[in-house]
Amino acid sequence: MNRERLFAIRERYLRDSLPVRLGGLAANLYRIASLLNHPGGCRTVDSLLEESKFFIEWIVPDAPLDVQVALVDLQILLAVWHRGWHKISPDTPRAARMAQESRVWAERLLDMSGLLAVT
């Protein structure tokens, strides 16, 4: 991702409230989970992993401590996935495990965001 594009994404992303940013990160994780089942999704998964790591970096300064701690754990997981991404093939136990973990994290982020809370 080039610097100008990254800067534009950052500026746009930071305009949203913390709950919306957490929801955006959750959406990326749901996309990753979905694309892991499709052989043609490799390039998109790679981009989503990279983008998600940036999203976390941009969320942390505005998040409460408990959310920061969770995001650090997620950042580490995403870095491990991204580093080994080229070794993962769709329809393998590793891809299925990664998809499941992505969904769990997405649900956790949505819970933290409060976006789905019934008022």
Distance, in Å, from the CA atom of 50 to the CA atom of 24, rounded to the nearest integer, reads 14
Burial 33-57 (b: 16+ CB within 10 A, else e): bebbeeeebbeebbebbebbbebbe
CB atoms within 10 A of CB 82: 16
pLDDT of residue 70: 97
Distance, in Å, from the CA atom of 63 to the CA atom of 29, rounded to the nearest integer, reads 19
Query: Residue 7 falls within a domain, yes or no?
Result: no
Query: Residue 35 falls within a domain, yes or no?
Result: yes
pLDDT tens across 36-94, in order?
A: 877 777 778 888 999 999 999 999 999 999 999 999 999 999 999 988 776 677 677 88
Q: Where residue 96 falls among pLDDT bands split at 50, 70, 90?
A: confident
Judge whether residue 119 has pLDDT over 90.
Answer: no
pLDDT of residue 67: 97
CATH number where 72 lies: 1.20.120
Distance, in Å, from the CA atom of 108 to the CA atom of 26, rounded to the nearest integer, reads 8
Query: Residue 4 falls within a domain, yes or no?
Result: no
Place of tokens 């819970």: 111
Query: Residue 25 falls within a domain, yes or no?
Result: yes
CA angle in degrees (0–180, nearest 5) for 18-21-23: 110
Query: Residue 68 falls within a domain, yes or no?
Result: yes
Distance, in Å, from the CA atom of 77 to the CA atom of 83, rounded to the nearest integer, reads 10
- % of the chain with per-residue pLDDT over 70: 95
